[in-house]
Structure formats: C-alpha cells, structure tokens
Amino acid sequence: MKNDVHTKRWTLRAATAAVAAAALPAFLGVVGSVPTARAAAPEFLQVPSAAMGHDITVEFQQGGAPAVYLLDGLRARDDRNGWDIETNAFDEYRGSGISVVMPVGGRSSFYADWYGSANGATYKWETFLTSELPPYLAGKGVRTTRNAVVGVSMSGSSALILAAYHPGQFAYASSLSAYLTPSSGNGPTLIKFAMNDEGGYNPEDMWGPSGGPGWQRNDPTVQAGRLAGNNTRLWVYSGNGTPSELGQNSLPGQVIEQVVLQSNIDFKNAYTAAGGHNATFNIDGSGVHSWGYWNAQLVAMKPDMQRTLGAGGGQA
C-alpha cells in the first residue's frame, strides 16, 4: 500500500511538472499587459562590453543616484526590455529618486556567465551587469553601490543570485514568480525544456552538468545563507495560480504559478533557517504568471525600495 501511495504521488508530481514544462515556453511568449502611452521616451544607451564582445543596449531613465535594474524574462527581445514593452515602469518610477536601468537582450540567459557558448554567442551577463555597466552608468550620475535589482520568472532567480554575490552593488533584490530551486527536483528538467524551446539553448552550456556546482552556485535556495548574511533587503512574490481582479485567467499561467509556488516556499524556509529577517514574502496569495501581477508588485515595492536605498524622490 505504501509503495502504491508513493508511486501515485510521484506520478502526480511528474505529470504536474510535465504540464508546466509544456506550458511555460508558449505562455511566457504571449501573455502580457497593455500599458498606456508613457510620458517620455527613455534613453537607449550603447554600453561597450569586452566580456560579451559587442555593445549592449540599455534603456535608461535618470532619476537619482540609486538605480533599479529591471531584468527581462525568458523571451527577452533585442530591441526593448519586456518591462518597457509590457508595463509603465518608467512612468511609475519617474520622480521616485531612483534611476531605472533596463538591459536589453539576454534571451534564455538567466543573466549568468555561461560556461560555454550560447549557440555561438558569448553570454557573460553577470560580468556585464556587475563589472562593465556600473562604471558606465556612473558617468550618467548613477552610483555603483547600494542599488536594487528586480527580476521576473527566469530572471527572478538571477536577481537574487546577483545580490548574493555582489552585496555591495545590490542592497535590494526582488524575485517575482521565479523558480527558486533550479538545481534540485524538477528544476533542471523544466529549465532544459524551456531553454530548448526558446532558441534551442542547452542549460549545460550555461551551468555545466545538471545539478552540479554551476547549478548550485546559481540556486537562490542553496545560496539563501549568503542573502541572509548580507542582510540584503528582499521582496519575493509568487501567486498561487488563482487569478485576482488583475485577470489573466489562462490555464498555463495558473499551472506555472502553482509549480513555481513551492520553490518560493522552499526558498523562504531556507532563508529563515539561515537567520534571514529582512524580507517581504508575498507568496501563496492570488496571482498567475503574467506581467500585470509583476507590474503591481513593482509599484507596491517602490516605497520599500526608496527607504532602503535612501532615495529622495517626491512621491512614494
């Protein structure tokens, strides 16, 4: 009887993971919000990158010495950042005392320094974001320390990892609907499926053999102790797959958020066990996997981010 129960539970978990994996790539490519026209266009910077071998486009709005880096999702485009395409983030943070930085590109990258080739391209996103971009932005009036980083879905884990390893640069980190246990359980399988679908990328070119040191190094739950020890201010969100008044009542979005949820609970438990006490966890409430929910969180965290970064904006 116990074996039968175990088998049924394992089958259910596997089936759920399979459905989520199948839904994830298609969903992330089509579901979004419809932002209104923005008040003013951002600057499009061309930032030299020796690590990547070419200039990287960065959308930028000057707003003060501290900055928030907004990272894109799995299907990041080469013309504009998803935050600009799908939300009014620039307008929402105008007057906040915080500059807005949106790197463009990074499709299926997890904003990591890849071990190998990304289908012929060089992906050294962590080096770019932490070593090459800050001195360039300093010339635009942005400080190189005590900034914020926010990521959605794919890049939510990236935001936490950047803060874990670069605490001087990032005093504030937010993960929105990210899978926060990538190195364990169904993580490697889900990531492999999604990356293969979105551009034919191989995650072993990114982090090496599944579950190995590279995966552990980039797993926020494994690295929760670093974040706790750094006393980084965290804002972590994951819905439970039930739509709220924001809508987006799609089956893929519901299923993906349900699968993502448990990894966020695991991260919270690991962070708390490590002595972490400087985080806001908005998890297990209503919400599905879509930009409308992520934008609402970006707006909600603004006063908290302003306090943490010491931003001197005139609005909260």
**Taking the chain, what is the end-to-end CA distance rounded to the nearest angstrom?**
58
What SS3 class is residue 82? helix
Nearest to 81 by CA among 133, 115, 43, 55: 43
As a whole number of angstroms, the distance between CA 201 and CA 297 comes to 30
The set of residues, in sequence order, having a beta carbon less than 8 Å from that of 118 and lying 6+ positions away, is 108, 109, 201, 205, 206
Which sequence positions are flagged as catalytic?
153, 257, 289
As a whole number of angstroms, the distance between CA 13 and CA 201 comes to 25
The set of residues, in sequence order, having a beta carbon less than 8 Å from that of 3 and lying 6+ positions away, is none
As a whole number of angstroms, the distance between CA 70 and CA 11 comes to 37
Q: What is the H or E stretch that residue 291 is in?
A: helix 291-309
Backbone angles phi, psi at 301, to 5 degrees: -80, -10
As a whole number of angstroms, the distance between CA 179 and CA 257 comes to 9
As a whole number of angstroms, the distance between CA 167 and CA 133 comes to 16
Rg (CA), the chain: 19
What SS3 class is residue 143? coil
Confirm if 147 and 169 have CB atoms less than 8 A apart. Answer: yes
**For residue 273, what is the DSSP state?**
H
As a whole number of angstroms, the distance between CA 171 and CA 181 comes to 22
